[in-house]
Amino acid sequence: MNNTTLINKARAYCEQRGARFTPLREKVYQILLGKHGPMGAYELLDTLKETESSAKPATVYRALDFLLEFSFIHRLESTNAFVACHHFGCQHPVQFLICDSCGDVAEIQSEGLQETLDAQAKKFGFKVSKQTVEAHGLCADCQEAETTQIEDIKHEC
């Protein structure tokens, strides 16, 4: 789904729920949709100030709170950054693969993970209301680059 379609879907989603998808909220969501990786609040603020010179940290945090509440974005707990969600409107467990080299983030749906967690929690009389898993490592491109660097070093010796 392209960014324009997602923006229109978000706008309609808000209208159906009686919420205001203000131009500023839309702009913050649009910035996150256009970014390949995660963004911190102050990086968002810097980008927002390019078109909204009066934007302040509180402005961005209020927009982020709204976008989180409606599940238009996700917060990466380990890096305190935000990424756009491309399939909002449904409750879903969230798993992320986060590349420690380039910062790329992939949102995945692991088969059986939620069921396993729920079953284990049930044994302890616990009910899971929200589940986020963040796995850190190297993406395929960074693994390849690392392997290439190692091979180049071997050839130099």
Does 130 score more than 70 pLDDT? yes
**Residues 74-83, mean pLDDT to the nearest whole number:** 94
pLDDT higher than 90, residue 94 = no
Average pLDDT over residues 55-59: 94
- pLDDT confidence of residue 88: 79
Rounded to the nearest integer, the mean pLDDT of the chain is 90
Which of 112, 129, 34 has its CA nearest to residue 73? 34
**28 Cβ contact partners less than 8 Å away, ≥ 6 residues apart:** 44, 48, 60, 63, 64, 67
Name every residue whose Cβ is closer than 8 Å to that of residue 15 and which is 6 or more positions away in sequence.
21
Mean per-residue pLDDT, 110-137: 90
By percentage, how much of the chain surpasses pLDDT 90? 68
Domain architecture of the chain: domains with CATH: 1-85 (1.10.10.10), 91-157 (3.30.1490.190)
Q: Using 50, 70 and 90 to split pLDDT, how confident is the model at 25?
A: very high
pLDDT at 105: 92
pTM across the whole model: 0.83
105 vs 90, higher pLDDT: 105
Query: Where is pLDDT greater, at 92 or 125?
Result: 125
The confidence score (pLDDT) of residue 157 equals: 63
Closest CA to 98 of 111, 86, 82, 112: 82
